[in-house]
Structure 1
Amino acid sequence: MPKIRILVVDDSVLVRRMMSHMLSEDSALDVVGTAANGHIALAKIPQVNPDVIILDIEMPEMDGLETLAAIRKTYQYLPVIMFSALTERGATTTLDALALGATDYVTKPTNMSSKEAAIQNIRQQLIPKIKAFCAVIGGKQRTTVHPPVAPI
């Protein structure tokens, strides 16, 4: 079975590296790209053909909500999981993301006692969601994220 292709979008280099490392430890997952902001992410989507996007909300240049809206214009069914500390404190931001078409959200740990505890917390929340959302898409993994030739 092919691996689930993931694009990680976050302005923090540390978060991108940690997420890439943690997700790549699972044999069913493959981080095919990372991006520091929404503009870069939008350019990378057709290049890396992800099955799912992990998207931070608060980023410079183009934030997660703007990026999500742009993704939905072209990639209507591509799963996007919001990943931000803001989603825990800001219910409005979370609702806005879900209204714009986010598939789900996972909160960044804020008060974890150790790096390992934080990684384990993310692993327990995020990986099952990635696998579940990718399994739902037509009962199999998608083979392309290119937009349909004609309107649906």
Structure 2
Amino acid sequence: DPAARHLLNAVDLASGARVLEIGCGSGCVSLGLAARDSSVEVYAIDSSARAVSCLQQSAAENELPNITVLLEAHGVVPDPGCYDLVLANPPYYSDFRIAEMFVEAARTALAPGGTLLLVTKQPVWYLEQLPQNWNDVAQELVKGYHLIEAVRP
């Protein structure tokens, strides 16, 4: 998945960072981050029981104890306010209702100064909405995908 690859390539984590992936799907981003640095704590949430099960199995098979996977469909995040980084690849449908839920969940999850990094092919909504409640909103176009970064005040 090119979007997942762009997210992984954009991430530069400090040792011991706490990361939350919202809408993790089968978990390739979470798996990649957990494998990259065993000191990083990765939390992954998704609304699909099948996706959560798949990621739990992959983490076990790859001996990655630094991944915690949770089934969550309502934007509730574990341990609000303590993450250094939130990652997301929101779906491109539903009039941005799901994207809005992802952004709100990220704001709840992040510690002050924490970073939201998301990837999309439709950046306009994010670039209009994020500056209202986030700092340092920036975007980078990478091979047809927009990486959008924002910092929680």
Normalised by the length of structure 2, the TM-score is 0.46
Considering fraction of residues, name the structure with more strand.
Answer: 2
Considering fraction of residues, name the structure with more helix.
Answer: 1
